[in-house]
Structure 1
Amino acid sequence: MEAREIVDQLGEQMVALEHAPNDRECLNTVFRGFHTIKGGAGFLDFPGMVAVCHAVEDRFDLARNGATPMDSTAFDGAQQALDLLVDMLDCIAAGDALPDPPAALIDSMRVQAAPIAGEPLTAAAGAGDDLDDLDFEALLDSLHGSGGIPGITATAGGPSGHEPPAPPTPSPTPAITPSPPAPAPAAPANPRKAQAAAAHDEPTVRVDVRRLDAMVNLVGELVLARNRLKTLRPRLHDEELDRAVGALDGATSRLQSAVMMARMQPVGRVFARFPKLARDVARQLQKNVELVVVGAETELDRNLVEALADPLVHLVRNAIDHGIESPQTRRETGKPEQGQVRLSAQQEGDHVVIEVRDDGAGIDPDRIRDIAVRKGLIDADAAARLPSDECLQLLFLPGFSTRAEVSDLSGRGVGMDVVQSRIRELSGQVQIQSEPGHGSRFVIRVPLTLAILPTLLVEIEADVYALPLVRVVEVLAHLPGTPMSIDGQDVIDLRREPLPLLDMRQWLGLASAPLALGERTVVVLQTGEQRFCLAVDRVRGREEVVIKALPRTVRGLPGYAGASLIGDGRMSLILDVDALYQTGVRGSRRLKQSLS
């Protein structure tokens, strides 16, 4: 796991170094990353991985001592080596044999390093610099041989993968006279090194993820017990019991927050892999693209962090492939040759907003409409009545693609469909905004955690249903005005905004309510860019629920996202707001045009 984290960070760091090749601190950081992986690989006896890391170190040493700065060929080789390390780590995780490192890659890195063989080792520290940890490691490498670790022989990745690399032609090496040790300084000369050392001194402990998951489950059971006590408390009229339940409520909330924080991880763990991804895709498409990452320190539940990786890969690749124009096209339209993709994250209340924005060509809604009709994904008459903003939602239809031919990057019509499906599985939503000629913006909203969900409980007869609180816009004590019917769909005018109205009783197939429709409570919900109203019998109030798997009787039915036990001990079904809108609101896509 630690090696995987280092590799992810190396991808981001090497892209940063490629933009600022004279940044010695960044160069040393990258060198240290490869050196750390090499040390672990040598300890665990993975000679092929040692050989790859050592070859990269040889080339980076040329840049560190000022002999030969890093160029595009060197960066390409280092990126190929990083890709190979990723494959090797995948093999180790799967228990498979490691692939032999390509001899051509190893040789290409070492051929450039051969000219410095035999140069004074003190040159590696740079003029006027003290010998740092990396230079001391390089000194040990020179004393112990090219493998870098005593007793371990690095391989060059030949046909058998067990032959040691041929050392460069030796030249006379000047004698090294060790200087007497200097007294320890009162304060470190490099403040950044001091900060790093202080960070390493902070007490930390590695905990098995399964233990954290077990703690979350136990806290969930405690939350259910607390909710049960809070429900029973008003009936007992005991002042001492009220104080005890109040204390338990506060302690449970603090414990829940502490356990949730233990599972939180910065989204930077996922964001770190995207600078390298953007670089590789841009070079493949011969485009000039800068990826800007903002808010990498924003924290999410670890399960959500990992689950967001695939949707974000699709969005970033699509932004570069479909959004950013070629350098020539950008010049002709008066834009700078280098396009920009911005990946950002920020917390808003009890959910996190992640945005992928580009300054490319934008999305033409008319073209999207025509492609959807041509591919048979939507009826021509229905497509003609779609407003421009809702045409963008057609991108999420399975099988939709703007590519006429299938390529390695796109054309199969599964990318955006995967994005929306995965985000919905995370109880989130994704929205699209675009302006032709000026770029596009994809916004993902997900809850901070999936373990415990804030909800609004509503009642239909004796049954209780839970609506994710993040989707609730407002609650109306009664229906405002008289509903109109357009294309068979009820619509109400809420402050001069026409909104579709869904009667929950009708959606469930129940008989008419004892109360008239106008006297029932209405919940205004958000799905994508559209809002709609849901008529219910009563609103019970807000409650945090623990998400459980659906009962078999309703598993697979649209409109249900999960289940939970509520405070009075009954089962409550958690409603899928997007599915409610899609299955219960008919003709809603035409409402804006029909009422305008």
Structure 2
Amino acid sequence: MSFDMDDEILQDFLVEASEIVEQLGEQLVDLEHQPDDADLLNAIFRGFHTIKGGAGFLSIEPLVEICHRAEDVFNLLRQGERRVTPELMDPILEALDVVNASMDYLRNGEMPEPADADLLARLERYAVPEGEGAAEPEPAAAAPEPEVQAAPEPAPAPEPEAPAETASAAEAAPSGDEITEQEFEALLDELHGPGQFKAGGPAPAAGDDEITEEEFEALLDELHGPGRFDPAKAAAAKPAAPAPAPENANIGGGDEITEEEFEALLDQLHGPGRFDPEAAKVGDAPAKAAPAATQPEPAAQPPKAEAKSEPKPEPAKPAEPAKAAAGKPAAPKAESAPAPAKKPAAPKAPPKPSGETSVRVDTQRLDQIMNMVGELVLVRNRLSLLKATMADEELSNVVGNLDVVTSDLQLAVMKTRMQPIKKVFGRFPRVVRDLARNLKKEVDLEMHGEDTDLDKNLVEALADPMVHLVRNAVDHGIETPEERERAGKPRRGKVVLSAAQEGDHILLCIEDDGKGMD
């Protein structure tokens, strides 16, 4: 199977996958020195996962398979079910080599060859938790979870103790549309003191959370006199009733007491939205216990909540409480003003995602620009010679300006072709690691001056010669750990790569602390 190399999706995948493979090569070598680095494990897992996803989109099955096996291994490493060991890293690094080779196949427009069956089998062996016998008890440990979840089920049993004034019972009460007994008792305690009110009707049942009609009517009689309160007008007087109209239409004429009627009463006593049953129980009830003992008439308490509500209004003024409640629409608006104040969260919006700061340009285009700049430099030089033969001051100034601009342009174009030598240095940690492991040596690699810039062509040209020199340093320069100990040296050898700029030149050094080469 062949690929269309003009396919933009394929080209984008090759660019992205190549960068990921380059990063994975460095990260995998670092992982051996930092096996417990969770961020590093996650980054490697995401790298293989990203390549697998792109290959799956393009139906590149051999690449999907090898990445999937490596991804499974790192999933266990992330979860702590396996440890990073040199034996485990060997097949992982081989898998990365297969991925890199697959990129070469794709660049040539060919389908990659499947990975070696032995490599896939080795990866599969590492894709299971260490000590399978130790991993089996985990499902058993998960079995007790239903028992732990079943323990909270007896919690509804304390509901019969709801009449007791406990904060836990109040918190356990549902926050539905019905008025709970705790809320009603808190209102009674605020009006008359704790336990002082006794309605003419029967007392509520121990486990009943609903309010009886007799209790509510008794409270209305205390406030307005028998038959003086009109729930429909009070509900209509609310500035912003949250309840839908259909409920009021269906229940308004029945025997049950609606939420609108009760909220209208609370609005008359405290103003719209001012009553908090929990605050009334915890803070107000103890403070009003003494006034309840000194004032036998319970009707004397409501004026404290709202000055305009009279306990015994004249017959011609039954609607005054409703007007008083409706006459304060500005209060709830003022209180609701803090809601817009939550907009300070808006400052989080200014951090906008920055646009792309780099553009991929084909090197052939850079070469064309470089050639044109070279032609421009030749023209500048000819004008400079012409200026020397002509005694024209104006021409000299123009040629001088052209000389400066041309030099700046040439330098800028050359910088676009510059790359840090890290592109070359980045492959050596893996080279040193593999070679030292094969030769049974212990070698550390140090790199300096990785940010030194070189022309792209020079970077590519230096790669192979430097690999050869580094391999010679590890193979022939560094001794085995036993030989180094006998010579009084540390067991671990050291290879140093360095790059530095000296004028218009770059100085590259490859050093080792071994015995040297014959």
Shift of 1:339: 0.7
Maintained 8 Å contact 1:60/1:70: no
The answer to whether structure 1 residue 224 and structure 2 residue 238 are counterparts is no
Maintained 8 Å contact 1:278/1:320: yes
The answer to whether structure 1 residue 109 and structure 2 residue 123 are counterparts is yes
Q: Distance in 2 between matches of 1:35 and 1:305?
A: 30
Q: Distance in 1 between matches of 2:136 and 2:377?
A: 66
Residue 354 (structure 1) aligned to one of 508, 512, 517: 508
Alignment of 1:428-467 (within 5 A): none
In structure 2, the residue matched to 1:249 is 403
Alignment of 1:148-187 (within 5 A): none
Number of residue pairs matched by the alignment = 294
In structure 1, the residue matched to 2:238 is none
The answer to whether structure 1 residue 7 and structure 2 residue 161 are counterparts is no
The answer to whether structure 1 residue 43 and structure 2 residue 197 are counterparts is no
The gaps in structure 1 that reach 5 residues or longer are 121-183, 188-193, 365-596
Q: Distance in 1 between matches of 2:347 and 2:57?
A: 35
Amino acid at match of 1:21: P
Amino acid at match of 1:249: D
Q: Distance in 1 between matches of 2:136 and 2:107?
A: 36
Cα deviation code 1:46-96 (max 9, x no counterpart) = 111111111111111111122222122221111110111122222222334
SS in 1 for 2:491: coil
In structure 1, the residue matched to 2:389 is 235
SS in 1 for 2:63: helix
SS in 1 for 2:81: coil
Amino acid at match of 1:44: L
In structure 2, the residue matched to 1:277 is 431
Residue 85 (structure 1) aligned to one of 99, 116, 134: 99
The answer to whether structure 1 residue 325 and structure 2 residue 475 are counterparts is no
In structure 1, the residue matched to 2:168 is none
Shift of 1:117: 11
Cα deviation code 1:393-417 (max 9, x no counterpart) = xxxxxxxxxxxxxxxxxxxxxxxxx
User: Cα RMSD between the aligned structures?
Assistant: 2.8
Cα deviation code 1:270-291 (max 9, x no counterpart) = 2111111111111121111111
Q: Distance in 2 between matches of 1:241 and 1:26?
A: 62
Shift of 1:44: 2.0
SS in 2 for 1:308: helix
SS in 1 for 2:22: helix
Residue identity (%): 52
Residue 421 (structure 2) aligned to one of 267, 292, 312: 267
Q: Distance in 1 between matches of 2:16 and 2:497?
A: 24
Q: Distance in 2 between matches of 1:14 and 1:208?
A: 30
Amino acid at match of 1:340: K
Q: Please give the TM-score of this superposition, normalised by the length of structure 1.
A: 0.46
Cα deviation code 1:388-439 (max 9, x no counterpart) = xxxxxxxxxxxxxxxxxxxxxxxxxxxxxxxxxxxxxxxxxxxxxxxxxxxx
Large movers: runs of 4+ above 6 Å: 116-120, 184-187
The gaps in structure 2 that reach 5 residues or longer are 1-14, 130-134, 140-344
The answer to whether structure 1 residue 52 and structure 2 residue 55 are counterparts is no
SS in 2 for 1:9: helix
The answer to which of 227-236 and 50-59 deviates more is 227-236
Q: Distance in 1 between matches of 2:380 and 2:111?
A: 51
Q: Distance in 2 between matches of 1:118 and 1:201?
A: 51
Cα–Cα, structure 1 residues 26 and 110, in superposed 2: closer, same or farther, change >3 Å? same
In structure 2, the residue matched to 1:507 is none
Maintained 8 Å contact 1:264/1:301: yes
In structure 2, the residue matched to 1:33 is 47
Maintained 8 Å contact 1:41/1:49: yes
In structure 2, the residue matched to 1:74 is 88
Cα–Cα, structure 1 residues 119 and 343, in superposed 2: closer, same or farther, change >3 Å? farther
Residue 17 (structure 1) aligned to one of 9, 27, 31: 31
Cα deviation code 1:209-246 (max 9, x no counterpart) = 11000000111111111122222222111111111111
Q: Which has the larger radius of gyration?
A: 2
Shift of 1:29: 2.2
In structure 1, the residue matched to 2:165 is none
Cα deviation code 1:144-179 (max 9, x no counterpart) = xxxxxxxxxxxxxxxxxxxxxxxxxxxxxxxxxxxx
Alignment of 1:511-530 (within 5 A): none
Shift of 1:9: 2.4
Q: Distance in 2 between matches of 1:186 and 1:75?
A: 47
Q: Distance in 2 between matches of 1:46 and 1:92?
A: 9
SS in 2 for 1:293: strand
Q: Please give the TM-score of this superposition, normalised by the length of structure 2.
A: 0.53
Amino acid at match of 2:19: E
Q: Distance in 1 between matches of 2:29 and 2:449?
A: 18
In structure 1, the residue matched to 2:465 is 311
Q: Distance in 1 between matches of 2:137 and 2:101?
A: 34
The answer to whether structure 1 residue 62 and structure 2 residue 76 are counterparts is yes
Shift of 1:42: 1.6
Q: Distance in 2 between matches of 1:31 and 1:346?
A: 35
Relative to its length, the structure with more helix (as a share) is 2
Amino acid at match of 1:90: D
Cα–Cα, structure 1 residues 73 and 363, in superposed 2: closer, same or farther, change >3 Å? closer
SS in 2 for 1:341: strand
Q: Distance in 2 between matches of 1:75 and 1:117?
A: 25
Cα–Cα, structure 1 residues 262 and 97, in superposed 2: closer, same or farther, change >3 Å? same
Maintained 8 Å contact 2:499/2:507: yes
In structure 2, the residue matched to 1:300 is 454
Q: Distance in 2 between matches of 1:76 and 1:284?
A: 11
Shift of 1:319: 0.7
Shift of 1:249: 0.9
Q: Distance in 1 between matches of 2:120 and 2:138?
A: 21
In structure 2, the residue matched to 1:95 is 109
Amino acid at match of 2:425: F
Residue 343 (structure 1) aligned to one of 497, 501, 510: 497
SS in 1 for 2:484: helix
In structure 2, the residue matched to 1:287 is 441
Cα deviation code 1:78-116 (max 9, x no counterpart) = 111011112222222233442211233223323333448
Cα–Cα, structure 1 residues 354 and 119, in superposed 2: closer, same or farther, change >3 Å? farther
Q: Distance in 2 between matches of 1:293 and 1:33?
A: 25
Cα–Cα, structure 1 residues 360 and 79, in superposed 2: closer, same or farther, change >3 Å? same
Cα deviation code 1:283-340 (max 9, x no counterpart) = 1211111111222221111111111111111111111111111111111111111111
Maintained 8 Å contact 2:429/2:445: yes
SS in 2 for 1:355: strand
Q: Distance in 2 between matches of 1:210 and 1:232?
A: 34
Cα–Cα, structure 1 residues 340 and 73, in superposed 2: closer, same or farther, change >3 Å? same
